[in-house]
């Protein structure tokens, strides 16, 4: 899937991403980077609303799982189960969120469980970047439901 195709998919299937003007900046095997502008995500302090920052980070992590599962021939319904986010600095302009599997994530185990049980859980991290500095960190637990449970 190309960045343009993923962006279209997000805007068509997750309408909030369109309202937030989320764009797909980069796709790699181990990460997805999404970007968003300040204007549709602004709060009363002229910085990015925390909910918007969290949503873009969650979307980035979700996209990584969606793309990896699709590429592996295991299209699945992926949902977030829980997350924590640390806001490290205000974001006063356009920003990005880059997802990655944490070092202790066991993709092979996750894939085997999904194939065998039709459901599996995995953690994904995302970093918020503003002007070249880390502005926030998200850790999320996601659940994938395999084809037979779609």
Q: Alpha-carbon distance 47 to 64, whole Å?
A: 27
* Percentage of residues in the chain having pLDDT higher than 90: 91
Domain ranges of the chain: 3-149
Answer yes or no: is pLDDT of 150 > 50.
no
**Superfamily of the domain at 3-149:** Hotdog Thioesterase (3.10.129.10)
Q: Alpha-carbon distance 21 to 59, whole Å?
A: 12
Each residue's pLDDT tens digit, 104-127: 889 999 999 999 999 999 999 999
Q: Alpha-carbon distance 61 to 76, whole Å?
A: 15
pTM of the model: 0.94
Each residue's pLDDT tens digit, 34-72: 999 999 999 999 999 999 999 999 999 999 999 999 999
- Specify the pLDDT at position 27: 97
Q: What's phi and psi for 144, nearest 5 deg?
A: -110, 135
Q: What's phi and psi for 92, nearest 5 deg?
A: -110, 25
Stretch 67-93: mean pLDDT? 95
Contacts of 96 (CB under 8 A, 6+ apart): 25, 33, 34, 35, 36, 128, 129
Q: Alpha-carbon distance 102 to 117, whole Å?
A: 23
């Amino acid at each position: 899937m190309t960045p343009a195709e993923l962006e279209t998919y997000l805007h068509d299937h997750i309408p909030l991403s369109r309202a937030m003007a989320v764009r797909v900046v980069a796709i790699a095997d181990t990460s997805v980077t999404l970007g968003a502008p300040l204007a549709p995500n602004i709060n009363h302090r002229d910085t990015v609303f925390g909910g918007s920052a969290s949503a873009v980070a969650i979307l980035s992590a979700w996209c990584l799982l969606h793309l990896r599962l699709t590429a592996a021939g295991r299209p699945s319904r992926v949902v977030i189960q829980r997350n924590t986010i640390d806001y490290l600095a205000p974001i006063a302009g356009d920003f990005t969120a880059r997802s990655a599997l944490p070092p202790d994530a066991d993709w092979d185990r996750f894939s085997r469980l999904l194939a065998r049980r039709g459901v599996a859980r995995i953690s994904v991290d995302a970093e918020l970047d503003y002007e070249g500095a880390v502005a926030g960190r998200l850790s999320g637990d996601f659940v994938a439901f395999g084809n037979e449970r779609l």
